[in-house]
Amino acid sequence: MPVSSHTLNRFTLSSILLLMNLWAVQSPARATMMPPLHSDHSLQPSLLIAQPTQPAARGQCRSLRKAAFIYRGRSFESGTLMRLDPDQVVTLAENTPVNGFIAIDNPEVGYIQAANLKPCNSTTPGNGSGVGLCRKIAAKEGLEIWMQPNSKDFLARLPYKSLVYLTEPPVVRQDTGDRIWVKLASPVPGWAIGSMKGITVLTPCT
């Protein structure tokens, strides 16, 4: 007996509705079988890797492997502040470098390439100076370093509480103004006023 087109269409529609109902019933079960989605942390593998503990370095001294510049920022394009010679001493102002540069606050506040630094020798922190010849700048206005006593050749100004090292043996000169000049070995070789008119500019490091 031939099947009418109307009957066939009803049969097809019923089949589609049945299949949709079966899909809706099985969907929760199918969903439970799906693998769990990765968390956002999986997109950041660096967060899952334990970082090694870095020893505190702020306030420690380092010396230069070769001549270098102190920069205003953490890039060569930031501009230079001053030039340092090999074995000159700097004081770190932070524990770890960022983008290859580390902050320093002595002999100038700025940034320097961390790869060019080496530990200060316990007996010769730079240019032949000894640890016993370390001095701290006690003048709040800082310390000016000159090429020679009473000369007009200005070299650098170091900030308050910075460390400097005298030459070994110490070289001292007194001028007519009762100023005592001392020769520095590092961080900037030159001459500075150690005391004047009873005012102590440099004090022993503690």
Alpha helices (H) in the chain, listed in sequence order: 5-33
Give the separation between CA 16 and CA 14, rounded to whole angstroms: 5
Could you count the other beta carbons within 10 Å of the beta carbon of residue 126?
23
Residues 6+ apart with CB under 8 A from 96: 54, 57, 102
Residue 76, Cβ density class (10 Å: 0-12 exposed, 13-18 middle, ≥19 buried): exposed
DSSP state of 2: P
d(CA 126, CA 167): 10
Task: Output the tens digit of pLDDT for each of the chain's 206 residues.
Answer: 554 555 445 555 555 555 555 555 454 444 444 444 443 433 333 333 333 334 447 878 888 888 888 999 999 888 888 888 888 888 888 999 999 999 998 888 899 999 999 887 543 444 443 444 888 889 888 899 999 988 788 988 888 888 888 888 888 888 877 788 999 988 888 999 888 877 888 988 76
- Largest distance between two CA atoms of the chain: 135
How far, in Å, CA of 1 to CA of 72, rounded? Answer: 96
Give the domains, in start order, of the chain with CATH numbers.
61-119 (2.30.30.40), 131-204 (2.30.30)
Cα–Cα distance measured from residue 26 to residue 201, given in angstroms and rounded to the nearest whole number: 86
Let me know the angle formed at the C-alpha of 94 by 93 and 98, rounded to the nearest 5 degrees.
Answer: 120
